[in-house]
Amino acid sequence: MKILGYIVVIKRSGADGTPFPLTNTSCSIGRNNECDIRVQLPSVSRQHCRVDVEPSGKAYITNLSQTNPTPLNETPYPGGKRYPS
């Protein structure tokens, strides 16, 4: 199984959490049990965001939440758009 990269979810304390290896070209993050990475915090939507990796290796993040911004490297991104990571 090829690892395309890692997703690190920041803990409440601000410290890095466990790195999650990306083994698929798409990874969903949210509170929903069907998400690939589940984050049980009130500021995280059920379907919060998705990370997609293209064959070139370029990764993109899409905020799926209309109410909660998705922070990436401390920059919040509003919902409904795809952003390079």
pLDDT digits (tens, 9 = 90+) for 26-74: 999 999 999 999 998 888 999 999 999 998 989 999 999 888 888 877 8
**Res 78 pLDDT > 80:** no
pLDDT at site 49:
93
Which CATH number among 2.60.200.20, 3.40.1350.10, 2.90.10.10, 1.10.40.50 corresponds to the domain 25-84? 2.60.200.20
18: Cα within 13 Å, side-chain hemisphere: 6
- Going from N- to C-terminal start, the domains of the chain cover 25-84
- Does the pLDDT of residue 10 top 90, yes or no? no
pLDDT score, position 66 = 84
- Predicted local distance difference test score (pLDDT) of residue 73: 78
Residue 14 has pLDDT above 90, yes or no: no
Beta pairing class for 26-30 and 49-53? antiparallel
Structure tokens at 39: 């984050």
Higher pLDDT, 56 or 9: 56
